């Protein structure tokens, strides 16, 4: 069994809703957006773990909590089996170097007034890693690793002088320059042309193989995740609905939500018969999520009262495959 690098246990993030004077009288109690509402998963060393879901499912909030861009409301985060959830900043500083994040929009995450060299060197300077010669060496190496070759051709340029794919390579190189063990990649290819997506995904895969970096790969695109993730978890309204080996979930999805997501993926075989599974309606508000099973207002396999009243536990159905649906918890009884 591969060594675990990250584990989150019952992780929660509730954002308080700001209410006006009259709204707070009507509401009578503080309201919260339950962005992440008690999720548990682990990521192994040298693994790309996928977190899949629609916008508003809580996947981005989860990634940001792990790298401590935001603090959790509850639950625990472990790094190499050491709990880091509430570590004081001073003790967390050396761990911060080992965990990096790549954002969806490289244009927004790269300072337009800085050259590529300074953008890449900045994390090293902030973390006081080496002198200027050592910094230069690391910057050149990271540019080569992300295939911006020769580095001399790129170091004096500004982000607006690069293509979208090159900017995402710079963002990846910037994450790599501190030689992290773990990277959160938050929709890293969703803003790129289809032709460039494969190149960036191959690059991530290559970095995982070469340096043993582990990734949390966040995406709304289950079809993309199937190509690079060994295991995935499917999130809906702040909860995990299904998790397990990617192949098992893709070829035999159990949760009605996962089935619907899979049916939205175009088949390469135009003659293949498909059963239409439609997700009806909009994703409900995370301020007031549906009672019982959170998916019950949109579920095609709704079982009645039990789905409306009782929250289904995430149960193990074999081979590391977990599902949160009364169809399976009832069978287990
Ligand atoms: Fe559908 Fe009920 Fe399963 Fe929820 S618990 S996914 S509502 S069948």
- pLDDT tens string 137-154: 999 999 998 889 899 999
Quote the CA–CA distance of 313 and 296 in Å, as a whole number.
14
Mutate to test the pocket of ligand 1, among 255, 284, 291, 293 (most ligand atoms within 8 A of CB): 293
- All domains of the chain in start order, with CATH: 4-98+178-257 (3.40.50.300)
Q: Whose CA is nearest to atom 7 of ligand 1?
A: 296
39, 226, 292, 293, 329 from 297: Cα distances, Å: 21, 27, 10, 9, 19
Q: Which two tokens stand for residue 194?
A: 């289809």
- Tokens 């939500």 belong to 257
CB 236 near ligand 1, within 6 Å: no
- pLDDT tens string 158-203: 999 998 889 989 998 998 899 899 999 998 887 777 777 888 888 8
CB 311 near ligand 1, within 6 Å: no
Which pLDDT band, with edges at 50, 70 and 90, does 332 fall under?
Answer: low
Q: Whose CA is nearest to atom 5 of ligand 1?
A: 325
Q: Whose CA is nearest to atom 6 of ligand 1?
A: 325
Contact 106, 167 (CB under 8 A): yes
Output the pLDDT for position 275: 45
């Amino acid at each position: 069994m591969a060594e675990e690098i990250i584990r989150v246990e019952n992780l929660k993030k509730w954002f308080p809703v700001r209410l006006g004077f009259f709204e707070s009288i009507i509401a009578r109690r503080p309201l919260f957006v339950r962005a992440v509402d008690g999720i548990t998963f682990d990521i192994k060393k040298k693994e790309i773990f996928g977190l899949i879901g629609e916008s508003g499912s809580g996947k981005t909030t989860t990634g940001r909590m792990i790298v401590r861009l935001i603090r959790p409301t509850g639950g625990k985060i472990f790094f190499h089996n050491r709990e880091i959830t509430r570590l004081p900043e001073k003790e967390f500083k050396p761990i911060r170097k080992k965990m990096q994040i790549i954002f969806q929009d490289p244009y927004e995450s790269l300072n337009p007034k800085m050259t590529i060299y300074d953008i890449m060197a900045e994390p090293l300077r902030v973390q006081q890693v080496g002198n200027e010669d050592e910094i230069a060496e690391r910057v050149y190496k990271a540019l080569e690793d992300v295939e911006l070759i020769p580095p001399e051709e790129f170091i004096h340029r500004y982000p607006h002088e690069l293509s979208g794919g090159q900017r995402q390579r710079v963002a990846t190189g910037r994450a790599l320059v501190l030689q992290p063990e773990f990277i959160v990649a938050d929709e890293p290819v969703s803003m790129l042309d289809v032709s460039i997506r494969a190149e960036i995904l191959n690059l991530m895969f290559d970095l995982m193989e070469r340096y043993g970096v582990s990734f949390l790969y966040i995406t709304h695109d289950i079809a993309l995740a199937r190509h690079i993730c060994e295991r995935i978890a499917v999130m809906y309204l702040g909860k995990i609905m299904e998790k397990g080996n990617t192949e098992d979930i893709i070829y035999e999805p159990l949760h009605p939500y996962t089935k619907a997501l899979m049916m939205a993926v175009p088949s390469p075989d135009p003659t293949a018969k498909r059963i239409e599974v439609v997700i009806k309606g909009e994703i409900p508000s995370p301020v007031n999520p549906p009672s019982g099973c959170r998916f019950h207002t949109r579920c095609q396999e709704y079982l009645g009262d039990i789905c409306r009243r009782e929250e289904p536990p995430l149960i193990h159905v074999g081979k590391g495959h977990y599902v949160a649906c009364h169809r399976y918890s009832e069978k287990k009884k």
